[in-house]
Amino acid sequence: MLRVECLRSIYSELENCLVVTIMGAVAAELQSLGHRPNFFYLQHAMGLASSTGLGLALCLPEQKVIVIDGDGSLLMNLGSLSTMARYRPKKLIHVVFDNESLLSVGGFPTATSAGTDLEGIARASGIPRVATVHSVENFKAAVTNAMHCSELTTIIAKVEAKGPAAYVTNLSLLENRFQFRRHIQSLKSQ
């Protein structure tokens, strides 16, 4: 299963969500499908995408928030699972693309390649709904179900360690950040 195919399968569903992604391949691939003002790409600070999604979800409880995380980033901030589980915002979806690799920095294997089970960690941290998926079809179904069930969900998607040809895009970090905030403020004034 390729990550970009997973992203393509839910791209239309992302229109009404606030989307926070990690750096590297995920950010570049989502942008390759078409940037939208409701997408924020955290191009550094590995581990904090889930914390950012939690902050958004706690402040905007009626808003769907989807975090697109990775195994390398999540392993740097496993405590975030326990913090998310503690407050369990109903409309927060946490997708983790697990390619068992730090792909963006040269493909070094992460601990998930040696048996660390992110689904088990998420479940044991108290995340109420957790699933692991291995096909694009099941990925799409898991995300769509999560969007309709109003319960904090972590979805581990096992994907191949393949990324885009380039990671740097022509969207500046600050432009993205200011546009994202302005977009949220415009939603609030509607």
The residues that touch another protein, with contacts defined as CB under 8 A, are 18, 20, 40, 42-45, 47-60, 77, 79-80, 82-83, 86-87, 173-174, 177, 180-181, 184-185, 188
CB-wise, 9 or 128, nearer to another protein? Answer: 128
- Whichever of 126 and 161 has its CB closer to another protein, that residue is 126
For the purposes of burial, counting CB atoms within 10 Å of the CB of 39, is it exposed (0-12), middle (13-18) or buried (19 or more)?
A: buried
Least distance in angstroms from the C-beta of 28 to another protein: 17
Rounded least distance, CB 133 to another protein, Å:
25
Of the CA atoms within 13 Å of residue 162, those in its CB half-sphere come to 8
CB of 131 to another protein, least distance (A): 23
At residue 16, what is the residue type?
N
Q: Is 116 in a helix, a strand, or coil?
A: coil
- 127, 154 in Cβ contact below 8 A? yes
Q: Which is nearer to another protein, 54 or 131 (CB)?
A: 54
Residue 21 CB, nearest approach to another protein (Å): 13
Residues 6+ apart with CB under 8 A from 38: 14, 15, 17, 18, 19, 180, 183, 184
Closer Cβ to another protein, 33 or 59, answer by number: 59
CB nearer another protein, residue 148 or residue 188: 188
Query: Residue 103 CA to chain centroid, in angstroms?
Result: 16
Tell me the closest approach of the beta carbon of residue 68 to another protein, in angstroms.
14
- Alpha carbons 143 and 152: distance in angstroms, whole number: 11
